[in-house]
């Protein structure tokens, strides 16, 4: 089947670095995206990896390893406003849709 697994919750201190992991199981895979969602808000796109390696966008970076069926989102210089839920989402087959992971709730403490 197609599924993406993430830790349910991560806590980190303001200014620190945190890594949110995502592992996936699928028979076909085209790419991995990351979305941020604040409480009561809509998901917003953060980054996308089609190829293995690291993609950097400001304080956020995303990594993909196809051989390991694994990716992660790295958040640096954490700010209080980064407290939110983070979802990985996989483009898993030839259809034009994403499968969302279970989501990780990030709590940034002062």
Partner 1 sequence: DAMVIQNPRYQVTQFGKPVTLSCSQTLNHNVMYWYQQKSSQAPKLLFHYYDKDFNNEADTPDNFQSRRPNTSFCFLDIRSPGLGDAAMYLCATCPGTSSPNEQFFGPGTRLTVL
Q: Does 91 bind partner 1 (CB under 8 A)?
A: yes
Element spanning 63, H or E: strand 60-65
Interaction residues for partner 1, span 57-86 (CB under 8 A): none
Taking CB under 8 A as the criterion, the residue among 20, 101, 106, 108 binding partner 1 is: 101
How many Cβ atoms sit within 10 Å of the Cβ of residue 109?
11
- Residues 42, 58, 67, 81: which binds partner 1 (CB under 8 A)? 42
Binding residue for partner 1, selected from 41, 54, 68, 77, defined by CB under 8 A: 41
What Å distances lie between residue 3 and 26, 54, 88, CA to CA?
7, 22, 11
């Amino acid at each position: 089947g197609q599924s993406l697994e993430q830790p349910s919750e991560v806590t980190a201190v303001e200014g620190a670095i945190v890594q949110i992991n995502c592992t996936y199981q699928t028979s076909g895979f085209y790419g991995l995206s990351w979305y941020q969602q604040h409480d009561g808000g809509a998901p917003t796109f953060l980054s996308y990896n089609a190829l293995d390696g690291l993609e950097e966008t400001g304080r956020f970076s995303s990594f993909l390893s196809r051989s390991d069926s694994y990716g992660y989102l790295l958040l640096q210089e954490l700010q209080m406003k980064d407290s939110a839920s983070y979802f990985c989402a996989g483009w898993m087959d030839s259809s034009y849709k994403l499968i969302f992971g279970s989501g990780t709730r990030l709590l940034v403490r002062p």
